[in-house]
Amino acid sequence: MYKNKNISILSHLLIWLVLFSMPYLLSYGQEQDLNRIISHFWIPLVFYAVVFYLNYFILIDRFLFTKKMVHFIIVNLMLIAGFLLLRENIETTFFNELVKQRPSNSDASKPRIKMFIYIQTLLFLAPLLFSITIKTTQRWVKTEAERKEAANIKLKSELQHLHYQLQPHFFFNSLNNIYALVDISPEQAKTSIHGLSKLMRYMLYDTNEETVSLSKEIDFMKKYIDLMKLRVTDKTKVTYNFPSEETGIKIAPLLFISLIENAFKHGVSATKESDINIQMTLDKKIVLFTIENDNLPKKTDDKSGSGIGLPNIEKRLELLYPNKSSFKTIVKDDRYIAQLEIEIN
């Protein structure tokens, strides 16, 4: 910010330096009349600068932006009229020879005098309009920046809320799964707790970033799938296929895990054979995640999960990948299919 302020000051100084040098630059190689240059160029430029900066720093903020338009117009008209009279007095007092060269105040010269005053007034309006334009543009840029910052803060707050919402949901469901193993297979329960500790370490530390490498997210999903496989019987077949090469792709963390949770929660039967199939493919910058499982929805009185998984995914996709993602679920031939596609920048 300090650097930008210095650049702005230097820009203003450079502009006025060029303007004050213009008479010399335009008349280079010709005979120069210093009195004429001072009277016709330098003095008006000083007045223009005063009009510009008086409006830029004081009048626009005090009157124009507070919707006191009448006050703003009156003050500027008085200011311009005052400078026109002051310029006339300065020329009469200090540049008398130039004044004598003007046309006499005869009836024939009155239209020319009126035209001269009209032109001088228009010239004073130029710095006034210029200051209004610059100040209004700066205000718009500042307002737009503040609006974007507020939207960004709101976005981060919502995403953080969703992230914190997902962690206890994941932890709760995992503990339910381990609890079911305690009486059936204490050794598997111990193994599950050890595996869960690794998963929670990833969720607590690695997923605090806005994005993680896709390879890390894949490794996390594989560990979770292996953990869930400990609690299902041999009647449940679980297959998965993830990209094995390092792609360098970064993605928002924990977007896919709720779908895998749901597959184990709603797609596994204790009495008949079940099949869960998980596929992830990459096509340049398109990540396509598909998961299929038997459609065995839980009963309404089943409290083994809070049901926030899918709404959480949809909300995060809306915030993180607007117009660059699609998420759909269908039931076909008693198979529940969820498909999530994301375009990575």
- pLDDT tens, residue order, the chain (345 aa): 566 667 777 777 777 777 777 666 655 554 556 676 777 788 888 888 899 999 999 999 999 999 999 999 999 999 999 998 898 888 777 766 655 555 555 554 556 556 767 777 888 888 899 889 889 988 998 888 888 876 776 666 666 656 656 566 667 767 777 777 777 778 877 887 877 888 878 877 777 788 999 999 999 999 889 888 877 888 999 999 999 888 889 998 888 988 998 898 889 887 889 999 999 999 888 999 999 999 987 665 554 444 567 888 888 898 889 999 999 999 999 999 999 999 997
Domain shared by 273 and 314, yes or no: yes
Domain shared by 187 and 104, yes or no: no
User: Any idea how long the chain is?
Assistant: 345
Domain shared by 7 and 122, yes or no: yes
Give the C-alpha separation, 267 to 275, whole Å.
8
Domain shared by 244 and 119, yes or no: no
Domain shared by 194 and 327, yes or no: yes
The residue segments making up the domain with residue 19 are 2-147
Domain shared by 218 and 157, yes or no: yes
Domain shared by 216 and 328, yes or no: yes
pLDDT at 307: 54
pLDDT at 306: 45
Alpha carbon distances (Å) from 329 to 11, 57, 79, 87, 292 = 58, 59, 70, 79, 10
Tokens describing residue 270: 């204790």
Query: Could you tell me if 255 and 216 are in contact, meaning their C-beta atoms sit under 8 angstroms apart?
Result: no
Query: Could you tell me if 82 and 123 are in contact, meaning their C-beta atoms sit under 8 angstroms apart?
Result: no
Give the C-alpha separation, 277 to 313, whole Å.
20
Query: Could you tell me if 338 and 288 are in contact, meaning their C-beta atoms sit under 8 angstroms apart?
Result: no
Q: 86, 115, 147 — which closes off a domain? A: 147
Query: Could you tell me if 204 and 222 are in contact, meaning their C-beta atoms sit under 8 angstroms apart?
Result: no
Domain shared by 192 and 140, yes or no: no
Q: State how far Cα 296 lies from the chain centre.
A: 42
- Look up residue 203 and give its amino acid: M
Contacts of residues 39-44 at CB distance under 8 Å and 24 or more positions apart, as own/partner, are 39/90, 39/91, 39/95, 39/98, 43/87, 43/90, 44/87, 44/120, 44/123
Query: Could you tell me if 266 and 293 are in contact, meaning their C-beta atoms sit under 8 angstroms apart?
Result: yes
Domain count across the chain? 2
Domain shared by 212 and 339, yes or no: yes
pLDDT at 216: 92
Q: 147, 175, 198 — which closes off a domain? A: 147
pTM of this structure: 0.56
Domain shared by 7 and 116, yes or no: yes
| CATH code (residue 169) | 3.30.565.10
What residues are paired with 280 via a beta bridge?
Answer: 289
pLDDT at 164: 57
Domain shared by 197 and 241, yes or no: yes
Q: 122, 147, 172 — which closes off a domain? A: 147
Domain shared by 157 and 115, yes or no: no
